[in-house]
Structure formats: structure tokens, C-alpha cells
Chains A and B, each alone.
Chain A
Amino acid sequence: MARAGRAGTVKRVSGKRTVTEDVDGEASGPWDRRLHIVTGKGGTGKTTMAGALAVALATGGRRILLTEVEGRQQIAQLFDTPPLPYQERKVASAPGGGEVFALAIDADEALLEYLEMFYNLRRAGKALGKIGAVDFATTVAPGVRDVLLTGKVKEAVNRPDATRPGGLAYDAVVLDAPPTGRISRFLNVTAEVAGLAKMGPIRAQADSVMAVLRPERAAVHLVTLLEEMPVQETVDAVAELTRVGLPLGGVIVNMARSPLLKVNQSRLARRGELDREEIVAGIKEAGLEPTRELVDALAWEASQHADRVALETAERAEIAALGRPVYEVPLVADGVDVGTIYRFAEMLRAQQMVG
């Protein structure tokens, strides 16, 4: 059996079937990159997967920074910590002495920091805030806003720290990025500010961000569910990111159902033709009372399950056709908590998403 998570791999959670077809010459995992950008359609669990990836990367003693840029404090909610200030703080430990720090990047703060760092203009910046200039720069000129956000990410990626092995403050940075619909515009900052700033510092900043987004330094991972719309968005995003030359990473399938019925039973369940006598006999054997209502309910639930698994199988094939490395984590019926993050991190490691 070939390694899991390679290009073209279809790997079911159950591990029952593995189809592998490596695509040579394409970048593929394990993803040893300085910057991991995690995107996905809204509701696919992008933040959860960014958190799991950060823990997976930190495992074994590395120091990782997990960042978010949309002002929603999702990292704090994920790790069950108080809201993050504009300041890096440790939110989790990983097995083997690893550490995950987190930062919620705020465009206004990033602008002030930027003014201070490059022009020693923090006070002027604050004064400008009063007349709405900061608002202007960060809100109305959208390219500028994105340059500030990605610029801060870039700064963290490149930040030196002589006291650490490797000489860098973080071994890698994980960005919980805007959703797939906006990702290529968000990252393709040079093009975005081109109309606004043909030269000058904003342009230079944009160019330095693009330098971090080279394939050997960064990867954009796409989170999806096995449903039509998220898969369609993933397919579109792969095309769009490729078109603008941004470095593609893997596809992470979230909330995959493990097929619990055998293939032939599944077919019967979808037709409403499951062997009810057999279910009744089994339920009796297990010491439960096989009322008609119970058997009806169970048969209906089995058909729903079979329908869902069939849909997922079809969507999984669409994902596999992208030829990207695919990683998969299961549906957690009880809901995601901090423990889930660690479980998912272990799964991503087991599928060799990270080295």
C-alpha cells in the first residue's frame, strides 16, 4: 500500500479501500512549509482544521503560530480560551514539548504597528484614526487591508529569534484564512493593490508578501465537506489558485461518515428494502424489544445513512479527480472540543500531512 495522503489518494476513514495514484512532479505532502494557509467554504470547519494542523505541526517539540484575520475570535473559541488580544499568546501544548501560539490579527492594529515600524509614526497614526484615515486605509481600500493582514503574517513567518534553533521565532505559521470565495484575492495582494499603488511602500510590502507565498515556502490547504457545494467551491478554488499561481497544498475532507453498512445492504437500504426480519431477529437477540415503530425508525435511519454515504462517495470521487493529496477526518457526532483538535492532529500526522 502506498503512503497515505499522496496525490490522487482516496483514503477512507474506515481504511477499507485505498486507491493511490501518485502524480509525479507535483508538490505533495508531507508539507514541510514555513506558512500553511487553511481555507474552505463557510461551515466546513476551516478553523478546526487550522487548529488541528497547528497542533500536528507542533508535535515533537516545534513552536507554531496560529493566526486568524477575520476578527471573529474563532481560535479563542476553538481552544476554549479568553478572546485573544493583538498579541501572541500560547493557547496549546503539543505532544513532545510542542507549543502553539495564537494571534488574532487586526487590520487597524497592524496599520499602526506598520506605521510605527517603518516610519516611527505611531502617534501620528493614532491621530489619523480620529479623523477616519485608519478606517479608510483598512476598510475602504480593500487591497491595503489585505496587505496589512498578510504583511503581519509574513512578518511572523520571517521573524528572527537568535535564541531558537533555526534562528526563527516560529518553526511554521498556520493561517486560518478567509473562505474559498475570497482566498485568491486575499492572497494575491500584488495584483490587488496594483491598481491603487503602482509603486511606493504599499507595493513593496505587497511584493514582500508574495515572496513568502512561493511554493517551497507556503501551501494553501482547502477544507471541504463531502457535499456538493463545498466540493464545487473546492474545485473552483483549485482552478483559481492555480490560475493566479498561488501554491496549492492538500485537500482536507472534514466530517466524513464512516460507512456502517455493507455495499449490498446499503443498496437495499436506499431502496427501502432492508431485510426487516433479520433486523427484528437481531434486535431480539440483543435483548431489545423489536416493536414495529422501532424497526421502522431504524430502517429509515439506515436509508438516510446509506443515502448520505452514497452522496459522499460521489463527492469523494470529485475531490480525488483534482489530483491533490487528500486527508480525511471523520464526523464527530458529539461536536468538536479541544480533545477533538488533538485527535484530528494525530489523524493528520498518521496520514502524513506533516512530516
Chain B
Amino acid sequence: MDSTPGDDRPQAETSSRSSRSAAKPAKATSAASGAKGTRRRSAGSAARSVGPAPRRVRPHPAGAPLLDVDAMLDTERIIVCCGSGGVGKTTTAAALALRAAERGRDVVVLTIDPARRLAQSLGLTALDNTPREVAGVDGTAGGRLDAMMLDMKRTFDEIVLAHSSPERAEALLANPFYQSLSSSFSGTQEYMAMEKLGQLDATGEWDLIVVDTPPTRSALDFLDAPTRLGTFLDGRLLRLLLAPAKAGGRAYAKVLGAGIGMFTRVITKVLGAQLLMDLSQFVAALETMFGGFRARAEETYRLLGNPGTSFVVVAAPEAAALREASYFVDRLDAEGMPLAGLVVNRMHHSDAVALTVERSLAAAEKLDEHGEHPLAAAVLRIHAERVRLASREARLRDRFTSAHPDTPLVEVEALSEDVHDLAGLREIGYALARVERLERAG
């Protein structure tokens, strides 16, 4: 096996990695990724595999602007990662935060629901709703990384405690409506994530805050929920419900007339009278405490729209995830929210796309017919499956880019195992920033 002249890497490495330089004309290889060979997997996974490395710096798709991750990490104050469930959002947020910290910034990452082992690697073993410094971060550039996991109920409780007398707080915390709202309203998590973001931002303690968003059923919920909660808590219905608590039972019907009469009749019938009383008490307590949730929600919204904030939409190469990403990009645009770009995780690619699925399978069949070279036949079948997967993923991504030609994006190669340590996050960071192995060494 011959080695590229001037290549001083050990031959075993070269054999699998130099293939990059052999880009066939059919392959739209960008110069950035073409020249320098590729990286090997991190030491952390060496125990499982010492084979050739997955190449995470993939050829960037032609025609799509590249998302400049490092520029974003070096200048922004807030980065919000959003996308539908199961696309690697939390991992992406953690990888971005780690990379920014190791580039010299003071960073805090607010995660919502990290996988157990990822949480452990970030030192998030205790759910105490306070940022803690992450151990093992390379601080030579002068940065640091703190991490915290959002405790939605606790964040809500803290707001209550901070804004009322102990007796009132106690009454509210015990109210079944409050308990239900603070622990399971589908918008509360989003709202509290924003509340926490506002709190962290107000301290001025960090250069950059990276926020992971809740695993909502739809990426759009995240944008809607704060306003929905704000509208609800500040809305007309609540004013109606507040009336009895404020004016006493008799004035209630008089002030509000027939409409509310019907309302209470229905609510009482459907939900029961006790529930209405609990609700009314709950709302009264809330109102005196907050004086305008809507204003708070609007403030959060403003913070998100500010210069210095970037939204990163995360997707996997699946039709549903990219459809969600597409909606989300449009929505951010419509709201005037600053979109940095799209991260497509878990892409597969082949260095030998010139060997098509059909030819590869035909070749494998030919070998099977003669009953010879079973290894080559197997390898050709593996290749066919990979090319098939890669082309489908590219097709899905192209669909996104044709609809959003100006949205910058970056693709991250699929890993053959999950990421659950800093070394793995660092690798994702390199892939996001498209850093080649050799640059890193130099």
C-alpha cells in the first residue's frame, strides 16, 4: 500500500483517511474539506474501536451557505438551540457551549432534559437549578463552562417566593392549580426556560448563554408557549375569574352580567365547584404577585429578538424533523428573530459515490453467483446501503435548502455511538466548526 508523498502519518491511518483527496468529479467536495484528510475518533472510544475513523468533516453541500459556528460562538451573547425531539438538540447545545468555553469565553449552558450519561459528564448530577462549573474543560484560552439543568417547578416556586410574603407564597404553593400549572402545563417548561434565561442574563456573569429548548411535540411550541402562558395569565378569562375574589360573591354576577353566569354554570357543571374556588384563589394570588405576566413574556421576547442573540435550528435528516425545521425557520423569520442557521446532525456520507447503488449491488450479485469473494460482496452491499442512505439524506436536505436558499447550514456526520463525555462533545464541536484533524494538531 503506497502512502501519499510527504505524508508523515502512520500507514494504517493513511489507508482510510487519504481517500478524501480522491474526490471524484461527481462529488461536490468543497475545498475546505477536501485537502487535509480527516480526523480520527476521540481517545475515549478507543476501547471500542481502533479502526479507521469516521470522517466528521463532510463535504459541504454545494449551493448552501455555510454556518460559521466559530464566528457565532465568539461574538454572541445568547444562543438558543431549537428543533423537534430526538434530533440531538441537547448534545449540539452542549458541544457549542464547550467549544465557546475552550475558545476563551465564560459560558453557561442551560439544558432541559439531558440524557443521563451526558448530564453526568457535565457534572449535572444534582438538580439544584444553579449553574455549576464543569470539570475537565480546557481553560488555557481563559474561558470556563458552567452547566445547569432546568428544574421547572423550582424555578416557578422561586418566582413565587421572591415576589410575595411567606404566607401568601405558602398558600399559593399549596394550591392544586398552582401545582398542576407549575409541574405539567405544556407551556410552563418553555416559559421557565425563558425566565431562567432572563435571570442568567441579568447577572452579567457570563459572556455567552447557550440554551437548549424543551423537547416539545413541535418546535413551534417553544415560541408560542411564553406568550400563551402570558396571555392566559393576563387575559380576559382571568379577569372574570378574579372578580369574585376581589369583589366578593354578590358583586360578581352583577358586575359581569349574564356571560359569566353561564360561564360559572358550565365550569361548575363540568369541573365542579371546588375546582372553581381553587382556581379563583390561585388567580387572585398570582395577580397580586406578578402584576402582568404578559409584560414578562414580552420582555423575554424582546431579549430573544435582541442583537447578540442567535437561534440555531437543529434537525436530523428525517422528513419530519426537517419539515419542523423548515416551519421553525419561517416562523423565526416572521417574528423577526435572529436565525443563525441550521445544524443537520447524523448525516451519512460516502467517499465513493461514483460507485452507484445499482452497480455495487450488481457487482455483489455477480460475486455471489460464482460463490467467490464473500467479503468483497458483503462490503459492496454495505456500500450500496450507505449510498442509498446518503442520497436520501441529501435529497431531504436539498428540499430544505431549495425552500430556504439563504439559510446557512452545517452538517455533522453520524457517529456510530452516542456522545457522553467531554471528548465526544469536543469532537462534535470540531465537526460543527469544520476543523480538520491536521489544523488542530498544528
Contacts and interface: CB of A to CB of B under 8 A. Distances in A.
Interface in B1-60: 1-2, 12, 15-19, 22, 48-52, 54-55
B253 interface: no
Nearest to A273: B51
Nearest to A181: B215
Contacts of B321: 43
Given A298-B383, A300-B52, A74 B352 contact: no
Interface residues of A, number: 93
B49 A196 contact: no
B130 interface: no
B379 A179 contact: no
Interface in A185-205: 185, 192, 195-203
Contacts of A127: 259, 262
Contacts of A41: 85-86
A144 B363 CA distance: 60
B375 A282 contact: yes
Contacts of B250: none
A229 B117 CA distance: 9
Nearest to B373: A282
B184 A196 contact: no
A208 interface: no
Interface in B200-244: 215, 217-218, 228, 232, 235-237, 240
Contacts of A197: 271-272, 275
Interface in B93-124: 113, 115-117
Contact of A125 (B176, B266, B374, B377): B266
Scoring A140, A232, A260, A302 by chain B CB atoms within 10 A of each residue's CB, the highest score goes to A140
B122 to A, nearest CB: 15
Contacts of A305: 382, 385-386
Given A77-B320, A286-B366, A293-B22, A135 B232 contact: yes
Interface in B362-403: 363-364, 366-367, 370, 372-383, 385-386, 388-389, 392, 396
B379 A279 contact: yes
Contact of B185 (A115, A124, A140): A140
Given A196-B176, A279-B379, A298-B352, A232 B116 contact: yes
Given A200-B272, A288-B363, A303-B51, A275 B375 contact: yes
Contact of A304 (B215, B320, B364, B416): B416
Interface in A92-135: 114-115, 119, 121, 124-125, 127-128, 131-133, 135
Given A115-B270, A265-B375, A301-B350, A43 B180 contact: no
A136 interface: yes
A304 B54 contact: yes
Given A41-B85, A115-B270, A200-B275, A287 B1 contact: no
B184 to A, nearest CB: 4
A228 interface: yes
Interface residues on B, range: 35 or more
A300 B218 contact: no
Contact of B355 (A278, A282, A285, A288): A288
| Overall SS of chain A's interface | helix
A115 B363 CA distance: 66
Contact of B359 (A179, A198, A288, A293): A288
B373 A265 contact: no
B370 A135 contact: no
A274 interface: yes
Contacts of A286: 363-364, 366-367, 373, 376-377, 380
B351 interface: yes
Contacts of A179: 85, 215, 217
Interface string A263-278: 0010001111111101
A151 to B, nearest CB: 12
A273 to B, nearest CB: 8
B407 interface: no
A307 B388 CA distance: 19
Interface string B421-432: 000000000000
B134 interface: no
A311 interface: yes
B373 A281 contact: yes
Contact of A298 (B17, B269, B380): B380
Interface string B252-268: 00000001001100110
A19 interface: no
Contacts of A9: none
A321 interface: no
Contact of A43 (B87, B269, B392): B87
B170 interface: no
A135 B18 CA distance: 60
A70 interface: yes
B86 A202 contact: no
B221 to A, nearest CB: 10
B2 A285 contact: no
Contacts of A181: 113, 215
B187 interface: yes
A350 interface: no
Contact of B370 (A70, A285, A292, A307): A285
A133 B240 CA distance: 10
B424 to A, nearest CB: 12
B274 interface: yes
Contacts of B416: 304, 307-308, 311
A274 B58 CA distance: 24
Interface string B143-187: 000000000000000000000000000000000110111001111
Given A202-B270, A286-B364, A301-B379, A70 B217 contact: yes
Contacts of B12: 272
B377 A333 contact: no
B340 interface: no
A303 B50 CA distance: 10
Contacts of B186: 139, 142
A74 B55 CA distance: 34
A42 interface: yes
A285 B367 contact: yes
A98 to B, nearest CB: 26
Contacts of A139: 185-187, 228, 232
A354 interface: no
Contacts of A322: none
Contacts of A311: 416-417
A250 to B, nearest CB: 21
A146 B274 CA distance: 20
Given A43-B316, A301-B386, A232 B115 contact: yes
Interface string A30-61: 00000000000111100100000000000000
5 contacts: A139-B185, A140-B181, A272-B15, A296-B15, A333-B385
A-B complex: 6 closest residue pairs judged by Cβ atoms: A282-B376, A42-B85, A43-B86, A282-B373, A293-B22, A200-B272
